[in-house]
Amino acid sequence: MTLSLTGVTMLFEVIGFLISTLIGSIVLIYRLTGDIGPNCIKRLLYGIALKNWKICQPKRMNNYNSTNPTTTRDIGILPCAEENLLEEPLQLKSQNETDEFTFYGIDDNGNSFVGKILKFYGGITEITLHLSLHGVSYSVYRKGQSSSSKEFILGNFKFEIVESMRCWRIWYNGILENDNNGTSVHAVINFLWKPFDSPMDSRRDININLLTNFCTNYGNFGSNLFDFASVLTDGYTQFGAHHGTIRIDEGQEEGLYLYGFRLRKWDFISLGIQGKFGFPKQELELFGMSGSDGKAFRLVGTNGGWIDGSRLFPSNKNFHITQVDLEPEAFLQKSLPKLFTFSDEHRSVLIEIWPSFQTRTLRDMEVVSLKLTINGRSGRGILLRKLGNLLTSSRFSTIIDTTVISPTHVMEKAESAFFDNKPQQGGPGKLEKAWKVESEIVSFNSTVEKDISVMGGKGASLAQLYQLSGDSKEFKTAKGFCVTTALFKRNLPLDEFRIMFSNSKTSELDQTCLEVMKRIKLSNARSHIVSMIGSWIDDTFGEIEVKLAVRSSGVLEDGSELSCAGQNETFLGVLPQDVAGKVVDCWASLFTPQSVRYRLNHGQPAVSEMAVVVQEMVHASAAGVLFTADPRTGNPFKLMISGNYGLGESVVSAKCDPDTISLLRTSENSRSVMKLEIGEKRLGKKKSKIILNEDGLTSEVDMTDEESRSFCINDKVAIDLGEIAIRIEQELGELKPVDIEWALHENGSIYILQCRNITSLDSWTDFELIHEADSAYVTTFERLTHANTGEVMPGVTSPLSLSVVLKLLDIGIQHQTNLRSGISTPIVPYTNQKCIVSRQRILLNILNVMFSSLDKEINTSQVASDLSIFGHRVLDESLHALAVERHGITPPWKKLKELKNLIMTVWRSQAEMEKVTKIYSNYSIPLDKIKEDTKTVYQTITDRIFDLYDVCRSHCMMSVVSTVTQMFALLTLAQGRKADDWDSDIYEDVSKVLSVCMDVESADLPTTMDELAKIIGENGGSSTEILTNFVEKSPMEGFDWISTHEQKIIPESLKDFFEKHGHRCISELDLMRKSWRSDPIPFVTLLQSLVRNKVKYQNSKTNGPKSNFPNDEALLNSLHTRLSFTAKRFLKFMLPFCRRGVWSREKTKSYLVRTGDQLKQAYERLAYLMVKDHLLPDSKLLYFMSHQQIGQLLERHPSSPKILYKAMRKMKLLPELNKEKYPEITIGIREPVDEDTKVEFGDSITATPVSSGKVQAKVKVCMSIEEASKIIEPGDILITHGTDIGWSPFFPILGGIVTELGGLISHAALSQCFCPTLFHF
């Protein structure tokens, strides 16, 4: 033992000596030469260092445990707080910091888009946009002061976060320059960006191979040997697709689907690779994709070497690129290499770049559109080159650039404004506490910061206009001052008002508003402010008699998300002594029912704040409004003027049909060098005008004939107004078009009364609302189907369900796919991989769900899988070739592994079934014990979503078990015959085998309901009484009748039914659909139909469950297929597993629906509380928001108005979306079938039998349950699109059923009973 230990010790000493010698040698070489010697040693050391550096980097994204979750957060269907924070704009703390966000994408036709927003310290922002459409290139560059530090926005270019790491909206409405001929066009761009995969952290998910090569070649860093942070810009990337529309010059709207990346970078202007390597930093991003197979690649490098690269596959199996045969320097030249190759972990790829590429320079970035050949397949690419020493062409800079204030100057200006806001002695009214007066009332020419929270939207805008007019001879702004929100808050008991609104019910809201208004008007507020306001009137307007306008200025007015224009009072022609009272009246107008409901309907609190503007009246001969862009389309080349004689009130309040004059803005290339000319003129049907009387009051008077026949302003005044508006737009519009109110004084002077941005242009389009929940298509030739899903979730699914139920189903299927393959592929929670959403409908991705395990030729097991899901054969040679292209041919060892895993899944299913039954058979959420608080209920729902996932995962497992066992049965019955030789006898035999099953849930429902109808028919009195008191009554009256019937057997039977099946309903997995227990009306409608048929056709035959065979031997002997001895023995062995699989699948589905019903009730309670707390105007709106958006609404997130507005519009779109029809399988981007498509008619229907038999009867075609309830009679043959659980009550009385959708596993209820059935006709 001692000798052995001595030997080991000596061995360690030798190894230690060798390692220390090696390290000492490296250090010595490094000290003498400044380098570390041979590249092989450098590669080894850099590789080790990079791996260690990667491990030490914090994990900032994908902090979920979707594989083995224990909480809702682990599942990953909701963005975590860390990701929400990452997606927000970085709050830059120094002038060296930048925050850069880029989206780019291409398609097979060469169309491409590049959009970049670069934020600097101090709010300075640059935007770069490039668009290539049908061979024509467009671009724009702008720089200016952003209106928001919490958004990626400048002017009318915006990146809007919809859901962190999961969905972004890209919007632009403005001018683009045609790069081909230099002309300017108006473009409207609306894109929704969705990911294919998880985000990649630029410093954690690194490409060690390429970085090792880079550092080995350029790694002489002096003392900073392993300073990798200087090589890798901080940020993240994500592969995805842009789906949206583009309109050029109000032409035809075009749809695009572009593939590419989004790039987020946080950098330092003065640092980076340049300081480490001694050469100017130049970066490039190369992306290419072949549309024929969906394979793509991405390479990232600098002029020092490649630092990242990956191959991207539609199967989401992505690999790092390990070697590139050319250096990035070759791609930074004017001419590009014709050929280059790169390699990943498995194979090499040859890229050919066609010589006909297009290059566009945008400041320090070049965009190169490429045509490629990728391993012999045609493709498209895009090359982004960020050139540190590139100077923008003078032509482009002159056209697009906008002079901006430097960040330093911005700070100096802000500091100056702060110090100038000090208390001054002898201020207005010569009051002693000048600082207090300054904060309560400010003049328009005050240097106080134009803060909307202080002066309101109108007040801040007027103050800016007043200062701008002081430097202008073109227009004036009437003198005045602003009563700030500080005076409003000090004189009103706002906390008491909040309590009053919080305690008021929705039905009491108007009364509460009136009470608050009454309290304000009867308060002492007027007496408190009258002397102060009088002093300001004297100081501002002097001793002359003046008539004033007193105008409300809410803090929510003219915002980016909410306007509130016209919601609060304005008083014109007010005498000085009456101003204080009118100020109080303005305050009270903030609480009119109209104003309060407007705010509540847009996600804002009932109690807000208000400033009041007091301004000299303008004696106008004409007045109106002017838009510096078409308010309908945003076209900046068309200015719109509306006006009328007299005061502008008649135009603003839409009391007249005004004159309309359009001005055409023309320029050689840009908005900065332009001229105006008169466009269209339309004479309004002006009947009256509003004038200011001598007594200060306004009145509406009839127009003279001359005035009615003439325009209120001439062409010169119109042009002058346009030029003034453009100047205001440039100075105050923040690069956005503006809406101004103007007045033409009786002396000919032009007054500007108001200015605000046009906010309506940013509204979501119907296209965006319809596709907001869509999943990204990994290729444009994806095969998608609503078979199977269309039976459970027919029609449109609510946005709330898509955000919860669908995502859980998708992750559950991903989990089962991993279990089958035995490969621990990371579950992707950021996008739907298996269950796809398109136009708010749930689909299955055929290539990724069904055909991922393949032979060289189509085999019978794959055809059996088709029959299970579709009820007919789907896999043909072309589809098989696509699947092989994507997933490859499965080697025999892997197939054996999958088979073993499937058998183990079947084996474990019984234990899983026992577990899920124990937990979820009587699942409930104790809502009565939860605090009546919106946030508490919301958090409870969020936590309980995990329970829904838990049972969902079990249901996915049982569905696999059912499918596998059925496939075994089908293959056994086939006895080696090829799929082409299978006949209807095999299908009937499979149906017969599955029909002899134990207590299938979906089959028990129609039987139980039929028994309930029979009990009502036998115990409800005479036929006339039943028809009069139940069948012919409204569903609610009928429900009351059977619930309270004197024959106790009827209400008791009803109670028993609800206890067993009350959680079921039509489209039962949709959270918007109430269960029969919660809303019995649909159930009673079905029951009335059944009872009517029982009474009307008392002697009619009722179908029941098929009689069981005495034993399995008798069952097998009854089959059409002649079985061999071995096949018969194996099938007899499989029968219990087949039956248990069907039973377990239907049972877990019932548990899933039961758990979902509890969540439905919790959501219903949440909706009720949100309406009660005035967070929702209508409880139904809750179902048209995602779960995350509901949480944002509860937190009063800045996007709340937009969330509510979108929900209202989605609710209106629902009926039209439900009318859309689709084929069972679609290829590529899904579009509804044209209703004018001709349908061929014949004498027969060919379909797959699921329940055998022969019947001759009348055929009824019913596309809805409501229609079937009215016309179905006993013995009829029903033809319909598909049947979910809601149709099952009809099964006992039908003579036959034919459906368009369905597979052998889809119709457990049909195969159990009841009548001859065909599907997929």
Instruction: Say if CB 373 and CB 349 are below 8 A apart.
Output: no
Query: Residues 831-855: what's their mean pLDDT?
Result: 88
Query: Residues 170-187: what's their mean pLDDT?
Result: 91
Q: Where is mean pLDDT largest: 522-536, 1134-1148, 1154-1168?
A: 1154-1168
pLDDT at 226: 62
Q: What is the pTM of this model?
A: 0.87
Beta-carbon contacts of 857 under 8 Å, excluding residues fewer than 6 positions away, are none
In whole angstroms, how large is the CA radius of gyration of the chain? 36
What is the identity of the amino acid at 839? R
Please tell me what DSSP assigns to residue 1272: -
Query: Residues 1147-1158: what's their mean pLDDT?
Result: 93
975: left (phi over 0), alpha (psi -120 to 50) or beta: left
Q: What would the two tokens of residue 703 be?
A: 């127009």
Q: Are strands 1277-1280 and 1296-1299 parallel, antiparallel or unpaired?
A: parallel
Q: Does residue 1063 surpass a pLDDT of 80?
A: yes
Q: What are the tens digits of pLDDT across the range 468-481?
A: 887 778 899 999 99
Q: Does residue 184 surpass a pLDDT of 80?
A: yes
pLDDT at 407: 33
pLDDT at 273: 41
Least confident of 121-130, 219-228, 819-828, 1157-1166: 219-228
Query: Residues 501-513: what's their mean pLDDT?
Result: 85
Q: Does residue 976 surpass a pLDDT of 90?
A: no
Residue 437: exposed, middle, or buried by beta-carbon count in 10 A (0-12, 13-18, 19+)? buried
Residue 389: pLDDT band (50, 70, 90) is very low
C-alpha 321/C-alpha 213 separation (Å) is 12
Residue 764: pLDDT band (50, 70, 90) is very high
Q: What would the two tokens of residue 576 be?
A: 């000085």
Least confident of 21-30, 653-662, 1202-1211: 21-30
Residue 705: pLDDT band (50, 70, 90) is confident
Q: Does residue 173 surpass a pLDDT of 60?
A: yes
The phi and psi torsions of 1136 (rounded to 5 degrees) equal -60, -35
Q: What are the tens digits of pLDDT across the range 1208-1230?
A: 999 999 999 998 888 888 888 88
Beta pairing partners, 554: 610
Please tell me what DSSP assigns to residue 14: H
Q: Does residue 1293 surpass a pLDDT of 70?
A: no
Q: Where is mean pLDDT largest: 356-360, 746-750, 1023-1027?
A: 746-750
Sign of the four-CA dihedral 385, 386, 387, 390: positive
Instruction: Say if CB 193 and CB 240 are below 8 A apart.
Output: yes
Query: Residues 363-388: what's their mean pLDDT?
Result: 90
Separation in Å, CA 653 to CA 33, 553, 657, 1232: 82, 17, 11, 42
Q: Does residue 1242 surpass a pLDDT of 90?
A: no
Residue 355: pLDDT band (50, 70, 90) is confident
Q: What percent of the chain has pLDDT over 70?
A: 83
Beta pairing partners, 384: 285, 367
What is the identity of the amino acid at 654? A
Residue 298: pLDDT band (50, 70, 90) is very high
CA geometry: angle at 1119 spanning 1114 and 1120, to 5°?
A: 150
Query: Residues 142-168: what's their mean pLDDT?
Result: 91
What is the identity of the amino acid at 942? T
pLDDT at 1001: 66
pLDDT at 579: 93
Q: What are the tens digits of pLDDT across the range 633-651?
A: 999 999 999 999 988 888 8
Residue 419: pLDDT band (50, 70, 90) is very low
pLDDT at 824: 72
Q: What are the tens digits of pLDDT across the range 1081-1134?
A: 988 888 888 888 777 766 555 555 555 667 778 878 877 778 888 888 888 888
Residue 579: how many other CB atoms lie within 10 Å? 23
pLDDT at 71: 92
Q: Which residue has the higher pLDDT, 858 or 934?
A: 934
pLDDT at 199: 94
Q: Does residue 276 surpass a pLDDT of 50?
A: no
Q: Does residue 372 surpass a pLDDT of 50?
A: yes
CA dihedral 555, 560, 562, 564 (to 10 degrees): 60
The candidate with the shortest Cα–Cα distance to 616, out of 566, 543, 547, is: 547
Q: Is 369 helix (H, G, I), strand (E, B) or coil?
A: strand
pLDDT at 1248: 61
- As a whole number of Å, the end-to-end CA separation of the chain is 82
The candidate with the shortest Cα–Cα distance to 589, out of 513, 641, 670, 666, is: 513
Q: Supply the mean pLDDT for the chain.
A: 82
Q: Does residue 93 surpass a pLDDT of 50?
A: yes
Sheet architecture: strand order including 620-627: 674-682, 659-667, 638-645, 620-627, 738-745, 750-757
The candidate with the shortest Cα–Cα distance to 78, out of 941, 927, 1181, is: 941
Query: Residues 316-323: what's their mean pLDDT?
Result: 90
Least confident of 54-68, 89-103, 838-852, 972-986: 972-986
Beta pairing partners, 265: 100, 235
Q: How do the residues of the chain divide into helix, strand and coil, expressed in percent and rounded to 5?
A: 40, 20, 35
Least confident of 66-70, 660-664, 751-755: 66-70
Residue 428: pLDDT band (50, 70, 90) is very low
CA geometry: angle at 712 spanning 706 and 715, to 5°?
A: 115
Q: Which residue has the higher pLDDT, 1008 or 1251?
A: 1008
The phi and psi torsions of 591 (rounded to 5 degrees) equal -115, 20
